[in-house]
């Protein structure tokens, strides 16, 4: 068992190195440091200031190999800074990236956690309901509503939600954020509602597929033959056996919670990591983007290792190789 954990972790580390190499290729081989400098210093800055910025930010170093000082290359810097979690400064405003991530995590999680929890409960509950009434009005209406929900633009939900609840019903502020817990609820209610409405269609479709796959299995037929009620089968057997795909999806989506939501945060003025990423994309802030993608990948790999280990603990047969 221990050997398996060690091996699995070592493999995870190799994947991390692969991710880093890919990130380097994506972000730095095509990067145009002078343009990044222009975005950072200002449109009207003269060329010599831009060059100075490029040197100050380490983009003037050789990419792969430096004959004079072998460790002094962009790729070496890249691996060094990522593996030591010293993400350095943002390319757009020079603020320390780690500090900003720490500051943005709270607001992001305060949005994504309730969104995730409610989404899971409603998604699983409703899809169980829909799967139970397969090939009836409920199922077909469910498909229509879900697909409708999926094909409507996110923006429509946001603008519609703000209009309805913030502007007509006037229950909650249209946008804004306050870190103190009591007041925060008022600001979060609307984005959580909007996010829930937006994501529900897709997750019901997903869970419905899982449940329908389960209902086709032998044990369901056996249970039915034994005279079990359909509702009982759904609630006890099917839900129970569908736990593995559901849990896999849950564990795998947990790392993404910390990245926040790009659109919701921008529109509702939540100072989280999603809104920070939109800024980074718009402002060509490669250093921040790279750090965010790297942390996301790291969490994802970690979550996968944990699920794999959990599987082997639960079911020793899974330990294949």
Partner 1 sequence: MNEALLEAHIVSNLIVAALLVGAALAFTAARRSVLWSRAGRELLRRRPIALVTILVFVMVALLDSVAWVGGGGTEDAIALEQSRPRSLIDRMFAPDFKEKSYSAPLADAEFYGGSKLEHPGTHLLGTDILGRDVLHLTLKGARVALLIGGLTSLIVIPLALLMGISAGYFGGRIDDIVFFVVSTLASIPSLLLLIALIMALGRGPVQVCIAMGVTGWVGFCRIVRGETFKLRELDYVQAARALGVSEIGIILRHILPNLMHLVVITFVLLFSGLVLSEAILSYLGIGIDGSWGQMIDQARDELARDPIIWWNLFAASTALFVLILSVNFVGDAVRDILDPKTLGGE
Partner 2 sequence: MRLRRAGGRPGRATFVCAMLVALAACSNNPYSESDDELKVRYKTLPGPTKTLDPAVSYSSLEHQVTANVYETLLEYHYLKRPYTLMPGLSVAVPERQELERGRVAYRFDLREGMLFQNDPSFALGGEGRTTRTIVAADIAFELMRIADPAVTSPVIATFSKIEGLREFSERLQALRDETPEFAELRIDRQYEKAGGIPGVRLHGDYGLEIVLTEPYPQILYWFAMPFTTPVPWEAVVYYDGEDGRPFFKDHPVGCGPFVVSEFDKQSKIVMSRNENWYGVRHPEWKAPGTVYPSEGEAIDDELGRLDPAYVGRSLPLLDRVELRLEKENIPAFNKFLQGYYDASGIVRESFDKVVHEGALSPEMAARGMKLEKQVDPDLRYIGFNMNDPVIGTPAGDRGRKLRQAMSLAIDVVEYNRVFSNGRGVPAQSPIPPGIYGYAAEYRNPYRQPDLARAQALLEEAGYPGGIDSDTGKPLRLSFDLGDTSTAGRLRFRFFVDQWAKLGIDVEVAATTYNKFRQKVAEGAYQIFMWGWIADYPDPENFLFLLWGTMAQSTSGGPNTANFDHPEFNRLFEEMKGLDNGPERLAIIRRMRDLLEVERPWIELSHGESYALYHAWMKNVKPAGLSLPAAKYVDIDPVARARMRAEWNRPILWPAYAMALLATMIAVPGVLTFLRERQ
Q: Kindly indicate which of the ranges 15-23, 242-250, 270-278, 304-312 contains the residues binding partner 2, using the contact rule CB under 8 A.
A: 270-278
Site string for partner 1, 20-49 (x = CB under 8 A): --xx--xx-xx-------------------
Is 125 a binding residue for partner 2 by CB under 8 A? The answer is no
Calculate helix-pair angle for 74-83, 2-28, nearest 10 degrees: 140
Residue list 147-176, contact with partner 2 (CB under 8 A): 159, 162-164, 166-176
Q: Which stretch binds partner 1 (CB under 8 A): 95-103, 140-148, 176-184, 234-242?
A: 140-148
Q: How far apart are CA 89 and CA 96, in angstroms?
A: 4
33-48 core/surface letters (b: 16 or more CB in 10 A; e: else) = beebbbebeeeeeeee
What are the residue ranges of helices labelled H in the chain?
A: 2-28, 33-41, 47-56, 74-83, 97-132, 137-151, 154-161, 181-215, 218-225, 230-232, 239-241, 243-257, 262-268, 273-282, 286-314
Residue 216 binds which entry of partner 1, partner 2, none, with Cβ cut-offs from 5 to 8 Å by kind? Answer: partner 1
Can you tell me the distance from the alpha carbon of 67 to that of 72, in angstroms, rounded to the nearest whole number? 9
One of 57, 100, 205, 237 touching partner 1 (CB under 8 A): 205
* Residue 133 binding partner 2, by CB under 8 A: yes
Our finding on whether 15 is near partner 1 (CB under 8 A) is yes
Q: How many other CB atoms sit within 10 Å of the CB of residue 105?
A: 16
Determine if 156 is a binding residue for partner 1 (CB under 8 A): yes
* Binding segment (CB under 8 A) for partner 1, from list 8-16, 50-58, 110-118, 170-178: 8-16
How would you class 67 by CB atoms within 10 Å of its CB: exposed for 0-12, middle for 13-18, buried for 19 or more?
Answer: exposed
Give the residue, chosen from 14, 48, 182, 320, that forms a contact with partner 2 under the rule CB under 8 A: 48
Q: Does 257 bind partner 1 (CB under 8 A)?
A: no
CA–centroid distance for 206 within its chain:
17
Instruction: Count the alpha carbons within 13 Å of 48 in the hemisphere toward its beta carbon.
Output: 0
Q: Which residue has the tokens 């991390």?
A: 16
Nearest-approach distance from CB 148 to partner 1, in angstroms? 6
CA 280 to each of CA 40, 91, 95, 211, 262: distance values in angstroms, whole numbers, following the listed order = 11, 9, 12, 40, 11
Query: Rule CB under 8 A: is residue 279 a binding residue for partner 2?
Result: yes
Q: Quick check: helix, strand or coil at residue 59?
A: coil
253 binds partner 2 (CB under 8 A): no
Interface with partner 2 in residues 181-210 (CB under 8 A)? 183, 186-187
Of 77, 178, 213, 308, the one binding partner 1 by CB under 8 A = 213
Residues that bind partner 1 (CB under 8 A): 14-16, 18-19, 22-23, 26-27, 29-30, 134-135, 143-144, 147-148, 150-156, 159, 205, 209, 212-213, 215-217, 221, 256, 259, 262-263, 277, 281, 289, 292-293, 296-297, 300-301, 304
Residues that bind partner 2 (CB under 8 A): 32, 34-35, 38, 40-42, 44-49, 52-53, 56, 92-96, 100, 103-104, 107, 133, 136-138, 141, 145, 159, 162-164, 166-177, 183, 186-187, 266-269, 271-272, 275-276, 278-279, 284
């Amino acid at each position: 068992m221990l050997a398996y954990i060690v091996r699995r972790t070592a493999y995870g580390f190799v994947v991390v190195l692969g991710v880093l190499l890919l990130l380097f290729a994506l972000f730095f081989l095509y990067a145009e440091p002078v343009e990044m400098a222009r975005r950072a210093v200002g449109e009207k800055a003269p060329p010599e200031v831009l060059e100075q910025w490029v040197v100050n930010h380490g983009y003037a170093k050789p990419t792969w190999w430096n004959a004079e000082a072998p460790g002094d290359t962009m790729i070496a810097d890249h691996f060094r800074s990522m593996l030591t979690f010293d993400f350095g400064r943002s390319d757009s405003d020079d603020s320390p990236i780690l500090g900003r991530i720490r500051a943005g995590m709270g607001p992001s999680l305060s949005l994504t956690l309730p969104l995730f929890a409610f989404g899971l409960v409603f998604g699983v509950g409703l899809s169980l309901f829909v799967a139970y009434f397969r090939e009836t009005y409920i199922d077909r209406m469910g498909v229509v509503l879900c697909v409708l929900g999926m094909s409507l633009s996110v923006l429509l939900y946001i603008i519609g939600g703000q209009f309805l609840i913030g502007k007509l019903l006037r229950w909650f502020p249209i946008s804004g954020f306050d870190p103190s817990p009591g007041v925060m609820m008022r600001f979060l209610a609307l984005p959580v509602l909007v996010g829930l409405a937006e994501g529900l269609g897709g997750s019901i479709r997903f869970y419905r597929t899982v449940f329908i796959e389960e209902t086709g299995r032998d044990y369901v037929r056996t249970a039915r033959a034994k005279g079990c009620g359909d509702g009982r089968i759904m609630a006890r057997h099917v839900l129970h056996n569908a736990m593995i795909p559901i849990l896999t999806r849950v564990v795998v989506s947990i790392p993404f919670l910390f990245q926040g939501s790009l659109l919701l945060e921008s529109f509702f003025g939540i100072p989280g990591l999603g809104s920070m990423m939109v800024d980074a994309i718009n402002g060509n802030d490669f250093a921040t983007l790279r750090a965010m993608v790297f942390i996301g990948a790291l969490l994802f790999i970690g979550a996968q290792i944990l699920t794999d280990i959990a599987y082997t603990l639960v079911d020793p047969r899974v330990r294949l190789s």
